[in-house]
Amino acid sequence: MSEVPVQPVVDDSGPTPEAKAAAHSRRSFLFKLSLLLNGAVGAVLAVPLVGYLLGPTTKKSSAVGSWIGLGPASQFPVGETRLVDFQSPVTSLGDGQTAKVACWVRRISAEQFQVFAINCAHLGCPVRWFSESKLFMCPCHGGAYYEDGSRASGPPERGLFEYKYKLAGDSLVIHAGEMPTLATQASCNEKPLIQIEPASTATSTRPTPWQV
Amino acid sequence: MAGLKQRAIGAGLAAYNWVESRLGLIKPMTAAATHPTPASNASWWYVFGSAATVLLMLQVMTGILLALVYSPSANEAWSSLNFLNHNVALGWYLRALHGWGSDFMIAIVLIHMVQVFLFGSFKFPRELTWIIGVLLLLLTLGMAFTGQVMRFDQDAYWGLGIGASLASRVPFIGASLVHLMLGGPTIGGATLSRFFTLHVFVIPGLLLAGVGVHIWMTLFHGVSEWPMPGRLVRKATYEREYQELTAKTGIPFVPDAAWKDAVFAAAIIFAVMACAFFFGPIGPGGPPDPTIIQTAPKPDFAFLWIYAVLAYLPPSIETPVILVVPVLAIAGMLLLPVLNGEGERHWARRPVAVLMVSVIAVSLGIFTRLGAYTPWSPIMGAWTSEPVPPKYLHGRTPLERQGAVVLQNKQCRNCHILDGAGGQRGPALDDVASRLTEDQIIRQILQGGGNMPAYGKALNPSETKALTQFLETLRGPNVSPAVDASRDMTEPKTGPTGH
Ligand code: FES
């Protein structure tokens, strides 16, 4: 490195110490300039790279998901809590079985429902309903919830997550999308822009407007 | 003949010279391998680091071979593992090697760390070696967690759910973190893809680079000498003392010290092979179908203790503990050599260090043990599979027997043991009547308390009555039921007792 041949940019033919120093300071300036240049290019390059990486975080939670039918309301007897499977409305390529979702539907009266996420409010394990003791129990750390989803005991700090639901004609419809956690609650806060009518309502005899 | 031999040697030498004059690596590497090291550290206690490196090589090798068949798609991952287990020749053994290799690697890395800590080898001038080592431990655990996700079965699915739920507790950016981790709003194909990327590209890359730096620094500073009580590390003098010691007692690392490393590494690899052969591959468990809820998700061995801790943390402090304690623990490990870089190395003169290791090891052991049999989890099927023992029904009144039926039907035994069978979430009921008075039993059933939900809404009055009557009969032979002692004292008096 120390034996760098003298570049033609140096006027003098002999590599005097002064000339070396002048050339050095010029080259080191150019090197600093090149660092700056690379910094600038890197910063511009980072925008698409980081943007790509952070892509999933930019979607607003409330904008995720859509309304989805769970089938005719008549399949849920009043006073009972039943497990229902549905296909997640936000599935993407190659989700396989993980695109399926389960939820607990409790019918309180003819018009009143509660639709609970199966994900425990503690750390997301699947809770199970025990109709005799009227409790949801979690297999992971022993969280328990009452039939209305409120916390009964154990590590959860709150009750079960609930999906927003409506009755569309004869059909029970919920709003689903996010995996419910403490930060991404199950129910959506806003009315979605597009309401996808579930297939079962299309065949229903009297299409009623959505009831909130 | 002799001429031929001479010529062969000559040709070999020429070939070596040709390569080395172009490569320039053989000489410095030989010099590094044979560098003198103090005779005192040619010990069986100094073999864990090299064993961990050899295990890493095993993991890289088996991992590459598994990747030939594994399909990192949520659609196919689980089936491709079953395919490996059952349809690919020796696929089961490769999976077993990789799984057991991972458990062994975590164990050896931890032992290596404890040895370095107790021997005070993290002190000057090897602080940065320790810091890199801590990062290597974290990367190893990262490999273990992402590897568990690769198994993409029920446990992996719900393990991801637990991970996401933990991430969701971070203030402000919780939701974004969840989405970043899952690659979308739910666990699915994108989630597996990003964990595959971490497990196969990102973390191994960091791990290999880190190990390179770690080993380089070990060569640069030399392997620490066997600690002596009273021989203190001082920044001003340590390096000179170490050089003098090496000059006086030095032996070439290869072969005089390295043979122990080699023997131990071979033994460890053989142990992995034996475990893989006799115990077979780990999983996959049930398919990653979130609608199959008849499951009790559990993390892999290395994380059982976290699982147990999460069961015991009270809800009110859980989030702060989850967010703060790991940060403090990691910061503590990283800062240890900076804050404590000089002084005594020998464990006999460092009682706090020994105490810390013992306490941490015992706690990890206890929590892992608890995590293995989860006494806090309700046993979901206990009420159907375990009838009330007949001995608790002999000579009972019809009402009391009715109470036994209530106990059975209301799934009390999901959480309570009766005659050795049932959950351990709540206390055993065999002698409940000698611990609680009738009033206390009724109150506990109806209002709950402690860890028990209130059953007021789940029981009608006659069921409550029957259940209480039955529970009142549950006490040891010749033990009288618990009574409220204050009742006798207060009853004669008539005035209000004022509580
Ligand atoms: S996940 Fe349900 S109690 Fe922890």
Whether residue A110 contacts residue A78, with contact meaning beta carbons closer than 8 Å, is answered with yes
pLDDT for A4 beyond 70: no
Tell whether B497 lies on the interface with A, counting CB pairs under 8 A.
no
Mean pLDDT for the stretch of residues B29-43: 92
Residue A30 to chain B, least CA–CA distance (Å): 32
pLDDT for B22 beyond 50: yes
How much distance in Å is there from the Cα of A113 to the middle of ligand 1? 24
Residue type, B63: G
Place of tokens 């789940």: B458
List pLDDT tens digits, range B201-258.
Answer: 999 999 999 999 999 999 999 999 999 999 999 999 999 999 999 999 999 999 999 9
How many interchain CB pairs under 8 A, A with B? 213
- pLDDT attached to residue B363: 95
Confidence band of A189 (pLDDT split at 50, 70, 90): very low
How much distance in Å is there from the Cα of A124 to the middle of ligand 1? 6
Mean pLDDT for the stretch of residues B177-185: 91
Domains of chain A by residue range: 19-62, 67-197
pLDDT for A210 beyond 70: no
List pLDDT tens digits, range B372-418.
Answer: 888 888 887 766 667 888 888 888 888 888 888 888 888 888 888 88
Of A61, A127, A146, the CB nearest to B175: A61
pLDDT for A35 beyond 60: yes
List pLDDT tens digits, range B107-146.
Answer: 999 999 999 999 999 999 999 999 999 999 999 999 999 9
Q: In chain B, what are the helix, strand and coil shares in percent, each to the nearest 5?
A: 65, 0, 30
Tell whether B460 lies on the interface with A, counting CB pairs under 8 A.
no
- pLDDT attached to residue A197: 39
Which residues of chain A form beta strands (DSSP E)? 66-72, 81-87, 100-107, 113-117, 128-130, 135-137, 144-146, 151-153, 162-168, 171-176
From the list B45, B67, B48, the residue with the least C-alpha distance to B56 is B48
- pLDDT attached to residue A94: 83
Nearest ligand 1 atom, CA A125 = 1
Q: Whose CA is nearest to atom 1 of ligand 1?
A: A123
- pLDDT attached to residue A194: 38
Provide the 3-class DSSP secondary structure of residue B166.
Answer: helix
% of chain A exceeding 90 in pLDDT: 43
Whether residue B499 contacts residue B473, with contact meaning beta carbons closer than 8 Å, is answered with no
Provide the 3-class DSSP secondary structure of residue B56.
Answer: helix
% of chain B exceeding 90 in pLDDT: 66
Select, from the ranges A13-17, B238-242, B438-442, the one with the highest average predicted confidence (pLDDT).
B238-242
Mean pLDDT for the stretch of residues B47-76: 96
Place of tokens 């008075």: B437
How much distance in Å is there from the Cα of B286 to the middle of ligand 1? 20
Residue A181 to chain B, least CA–CA distance (Å): 5
Which of 415-444 (B) contact A at CB < 8 A?
415, 425
- pLDDT attached to residue A63: 65
% of chain B exceeding 70 in pLDDT: 96
Q: What are phi and psi of B272, to 5 degrees?
A: -60, -45
How much distance in Å is there from the Cα of A119 to the middle of ligand 1? 9
Confidence band of A200 (pLDDT split at 50, 70, 90): very low
Mean pLDDT for the stretch of residues B11-16: 95
Beta bridge partners of B37: B251
- pLDDT attached to residue A203: 37
d(CA B367, CA B359): 12
CB-CB neighbors (< 8 A) of B318 in chain A:
155, 157
Which helix or strand (DSSP H or E) is residue B36 part of? strand B36-38
- Pocket of ligand 1, beta carbon within 6 A: A 120, 122-125, 138, 140-143, 154-156
Q: Do domains B41-373 and B390-490 have the same CATH topology?
A: no
In terms of CATH, what superfamily is B41-373? Cytochrome Bc1 Complex; Chain C (1.20.810.10)
Contacts of B463 (CB under 8 A, 6+ apart): B406, B410
- pLDDT attached to residue B259: 94
- pLDDT attached to residue B242: 94
Verdict on whether the full-model pTM lies above 0.80: yes
List pLDDT tens digits, range A46-103.
Answer: 999 999 999 888 876 556 788 999 999 899 999 999 999 999 888 887 888 899 999 9
Confidence band of A23 (pLDDT split at 50, 70, 90): confident
Residue of A nearest to B306 (CA): A141
pLDDT for A123 beyond 70: yes
Domains of chain B by residue range: 41-373, 390-490
Level-2 CATH architecture, domain B390-490:
Orthogonal Bundle (1.10)
pLDDT for B325 beyond 70: yes
Select, from the ranges A14-18, A191-195, B103-107, B279-283, the one with the highest average predicted confidence (pLDDT).
B103-107
- pLDDT attached to residue A53: 93
List pLDDT tens digits, range B479-493.
Answer: 777 777 666 665 555
- Given CATH 2.102.10.10, say whether it is the number of domain A67-197: yes
- pLDDT attached to residue A183: 84
- pLDDT attached to residue B484: 72
Q: How far is CA B261 from CA A70, B29, B253, B269, B386, in A?
A: 62, 18, 10, 12, 53
From the list B1, B119, B147, B163, the residue with the least C-alpha distance to B63 is B147
Mean pLDDT for the stretch of residues A170-188: 81
Mean pLDDT for the stretch of residues B459-482: 84
d(CA A159, CA A131): 18
pLDDT for A3 beyond 80: no
From the list B111, B495, B179, the residue with the least C-alpha distance to A184 is B179
- pLDDT attached to residue A61: 57
Of B75, B175, B184, the CB nearest to A183: B175
* From A123-137, B82-96, B234-248, B387-401, the region with the lowest mean pLDDT: B387-401
How would DSSP label each residue in B251-265? EEIIIIIHHHHHHHH
d(CA A134, CA B409): 11
The more confident residue out of A10 and B257 is B257
Mean pLDDT for the stretch of residues B15-28: 95
